[in-house]
């Protein structure tokens, strides 16, 4: 692969693939916290979907002539640090992390994917970023729990704010270390004003998620 756009494409596929792999691991692990068999099965189903996405990204990188392990390697430290510092303490914190934390990352990568020049790659990225059922599942379970225990809402709102802060730190770290991704984003947006509008969209989407959860007026 040659040129900044090609490098950026492989970077995006690499970070997404590692993200999907760790999402599979996390959801499978969080299933142990599930309060019911139905909840455990639901998370296991989502985990299986995430692993399927990982395989799609892995195989696509191979088809493009890239080494998937090398493509993922630059992002291991940042992604692992995010998960290590935001390990949920219970079932509900895990749901918030899957919905709010992953949602912010998904929004960002979807924005970046709009500027990928290769259409098959762009369509694949959009496919693997599609919701696997986590949103509806998380919203319904959190709303049920906070209706029964209003005090829980305050704790989860604080947890969500922490997740967003940690996710932004992770994104900044990736941006500093992988200039090709930022060049792709800045070039596609046109200028820094375009990036400012992107951040506004990310913020608006986060606010909408918090409102859906009933954790923000």
Query: What pLDDT score does 131 carry?
Result: 82
Query: What pLDDT score does 1 carry?
Result: 41
Residue 136: strand, helix, or coil: helix
Q: Report the CATH number at residue 16.
A: 1.20.1260.10
pLDDT-derived band at 64, boundaries 50, 70, 90: very high
Q: Higher-confidence residue: 6 or 45?
A: 45
Residue 63 to residue 142: CA distance in whole angstroms: 41
| Rounded mean pLDDT, 60-83 | 93
Residue 5 has pLDDT above 50, yes or no: no
Task: Check: CB of residue 94 under 8 Å from CB of residue 30.
Answer: yes
∠ Cα 115 7 56 (to 5°): 75
Report pTM. Answer: 0.86
Listed range (1-15, 21-35, 61-75) with the worst mean pLDDT: 1-15
Q: Note the pLDDT tens digit of each residue in 82-123.
A: 899 998 999 999 999 989 988 888 888 888 888 888 899 999
Query: What pLDDT score does 3 carry?
Result: 42
Q: Note the pLDDT tens digit of each residue in 120-166.
A: 999 999 999 988 788 899 999 999 999 999 999 999 999 999 998 88
Residue 43 to residue 174: CA distance in whole angstroms: 28
Residue 184 has pLDDT above 80, yes or no: no
Query: What pLDDT score does 2 carry?
Result: 39
Residue 80 has pLDDT above 80, yes or no: yes
Task: Check: CB of residue 160 under 8 Å from CB of residue 211.
Answer: no
Find the domain containing 207 and state its range. 3-213
Domain count, the chain: 1
Q: Note the pLDDT tens digit of each residue in 19-61.
A: 999 999 999 998 889 999 999 999 999 899 999 999 999 999 9
Handedness of CA 33, 36, 37, 38 (dihedral sign): negative
């Amino acid at each position: 692969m040659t040129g900044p756009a090609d490098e950026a494409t492989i970077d995006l596929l690499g970070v997404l693939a590692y993200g999907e792999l760790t999402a599979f691991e996390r959801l499978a692990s969080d299933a142990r916290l599930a309060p019911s068999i139905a909840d455990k099965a639901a998370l296991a189903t989502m985990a299986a979907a995430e692993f399927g996405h990982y395989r799609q990204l892995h195989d696509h990188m191979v088809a493009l002539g890239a080494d998937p392990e090398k493509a993922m390697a630059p992002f291991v430290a940042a992604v692992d640090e995010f998960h290590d510092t935001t390990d949920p303490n219970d079932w509900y914190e895990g749901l918030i992390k899957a919905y709010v934390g992953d949602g912010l990352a998904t929004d960002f990568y979807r924005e970046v994917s709009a500027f990928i020049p290769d259409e098959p790659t762009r369509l694949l990225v959009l496919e693997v970023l599609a919701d696997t059922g986590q949103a509806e599942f998380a919203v319904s379970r959190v709303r049920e729990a906070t209706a029964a225990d209003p005090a829980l809402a305050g704790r989860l709102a604080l947890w969500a704010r922490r997740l967003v802060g940690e996710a932004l730190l992770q994104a900044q770290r990736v941006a500093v270390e992988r200039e090709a991704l930022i060049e792709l984003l800045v070039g596609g947006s046109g200028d820094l004003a375009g990036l400012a509008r992107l951040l506004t969209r990310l913020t608006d989407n986060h606010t909408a998620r918090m409102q859906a959860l009933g954790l923000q007026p």
